[in-house]
Amino acid sequence: HRAFETGPWPRMKAAERAGILLKAADLIEGRLEDIARLDALESGKPIAQARGEIGGAVDIWRYAASLARTLHGETYANLGDAMLGVVLREPIGVVSIITPWNFPFLIVSQKLPFALAAGCTAVVKPSEMTSASTFVLGDILMQAGLPAGVVNILAGLGADVGAPMVSHPLVEMVSFTGSTRVGKMTMASAAQSLKKVSMELGGKNGQIVFQDADLEAAADAAVFGGFFNAGECCNAGSRLIVHEAIADDFLSAVKALAARVTVGDPLDDQTKVGAMISSDHLAKVAGYVAAAATEGSSIYSGGKQLASNIGQYLDPTIIRGVTEDMAIAREEVFGPVLSVLTFESIEKALHIANNTPYGLSAGVWSASIDTCMSVARGVRSGTVWVNTFMEGYPELPFGGYKQSGLGRELGKRAVEDYTEEKTIQFHRGQRTGWWVG
């Protein structure tokens, strides 16, 4: 708070702030391999994937730096000859940033550089399970020339560290990524002092495949969307919604591709699905699979737990015969599990896609532009991928409808999210009284 009230960062020229963010991006790029290795070791994600995430984070830091110089404010000269209106964008203040364990470096990079670009100071809490790379980021920011006290990184459990970060009276904004359950608790706490909140929460995302789609590409995307990061991903395409006319043939292709997915050592460059975050989480995911079988669905592929001296694993799993009322179709499983539902019409496909409390993302596969547009407009999701899946760019905002969150991250307005608008009205010349003369 002191760094915000009296320090140089909020008062610095935007170009100077941008320069420090660009220097940080260069330093991150120079330590990419070290950071990727830390994330792989702590989270179990494949090292090749981790490298891609850190590379993506570099791009985000550079994009945020470019936005630092766009907070120009506005002027209104149409209020009469004697009046001039000015609207400023000022940094909101101290921001508490709380990040999850599944994408440790990438997610903090979707928040922190934009807060810094706006001139805010920040307190950052990474997950206690995957905190190492965030501390490396703190070291990098110091090397880049960030003034002391602007970013403060705290380790610890949510109850001990995260909760006070949300409730503290000197914090003006909370940016949280995590489960919907914890997001609701965070929002309730922040509401006690009417803090601004930005939340990216859970998802139960559908990949809708029509019979005229490029089925080879759609099958590859289904496997990628369902099993990337071992399914421990808020925008995983965990519900595969397939037209009934092609279901058997399409699922046969998906099953064949899933069998080729390399599961194993996160530090092996060939690994596609690494270890799960913990044995407790593996047990939770396996419990969803077992419950689905008792409810009448069947394990079409995978389902085996694999234990080794380098982690706990679940084979990429495909479940057929899933109905909309099953827990595995409605709740976020957060594991390498694809639930298959079928439809006979576009109306039914949209009903299935929207029949969830979440609304983070969705995908549609079809050769028909009419079909793609109808689905893209009809799905209640913050992001819709058309004939692709789970691509991301710093220029495009990301966030959810319904219980998938509040607000958006990334995009050209990402820096504005960390600001307050201030209206200033200037009167020229002598003001004539109009009330009491």
User: Domain spans of the chain?
Assistant: 2-201+404-424, 206-386
* Domain 206-386 listed as CATH 3.40.309.10: yes
Pick the CATH number of 2-201+404-424 from 3.40.605.10, 2.60.40.10, 3.60.10.10, 3.20.20.70: 3.40.605.10
Q: What is the pLDDT at residue 432?
A: 77
The token pair that represents 229 in the structure block: 């990061």
DSSP state of 238: -
Q: What is the pLDDT at residue 17?
A: 98
Give the contacts of 24 (CB within 8 A, at least 6 positions apart).
61, 113, 140, 141, 144, 146
Give the contacts of 170 (CB within 8 A, at least 6 positions apart).
1, 93, 94
Are 193 and 170 within 8 A, CB to CB?
no
Residue among 234, 332, 372, 409 flagged as catalytic: 234
120 is catalytic: no
200 is catalytic: yes
Q: How many CB atoms sit inside 10 A of residue 79's CB?
A: 12
pTM, 2 dp: 0.96
CA distances, 126 to each of 102, 139, 392 (Å): 11, 15, 22
Q: What is the pLDDT at residue 307?
A: 73
Q: What is the pLDDT at residue 379?
A: 98
Report residue 98: phi and psi, to 5°. Answer: -120, 125
CA-based end-to-end distance of the chain: 45
User: In the chain, which stretches have pLDDT less than 70?
Assistant: 437
Beta strands 196-200 and 405-406: pairing type?
antiparallel
Burial 109-126 (b: 16+ CB within 10 A, else e): bbbbbbbbbbbbbbbbbb
Residue among 53, 172, 200, 409 flagged as catalytic: 200
Q: What is the pLDDT at residue 437?
A: 61
